[in-house]
Copies of this chain bind each other. A is one copy, B any other.
Amino acid sequence: MDLHESSENYLEMIMMLREQKGYVRSVDIAAALSVTKPSVSHAMKQLRESGYITMDDENYILLTVSGEAAARRIYHRHRTLTSFLCALGVSEDVAREDACKMEHDLSEESFHAICRFLEER
């Protein structure tokens, strides 16, 4: 039941699109992540079967309680790591890209150390 990197990315993007547009469809995810419709379709099927999302009659994508929790965790890491890199002098765009790669692997311990650094600075 543990989430792989790509699943975490999809959940995060669902949350980001919900904030931006108020709703989320597969085609929006495909555009935002630069992947094809079948890739999204397949990923959504997995997330549905694992209980992280549901899709209503009109194929709008909704996060379940566990999906919401997982998405929030990754999104929080994403924003924190972006701020952190910016604080070190990295440009916004690069900081966002690198945060997107680090957010999945970093241990709780290192992530908390980075949070502390940001607070104390």
Interface residues of A (CB under 8 A from B): 85, 88-91, 94-95, 97-98, 101-102, 105-107, 109-110, 113-114, 116-117
Compute how far the CA of A97 lies from the CA of B94 in the bound complex, rounded to whole angstroms.
23
Which of B91, B102, B113 sits near A109, CB closer than 8 Å?
A: B91
Are B101 and A105 touching (Cβ within 8 A)?
yes
Are B98 and A116 touching (Cβ within 8 A)?
no
Are B113 and A90 touching (Cβ within 8 A)?
yes
Are A106 and B98 touching (Cβ within 8 A)?
yes
Are B106 and A88 touching (Cβ within 8 A)?
no
Output the least CB separation between A86 and chain B (Å). 9
Output the least CB separation between A22 and chain B (Å). 32
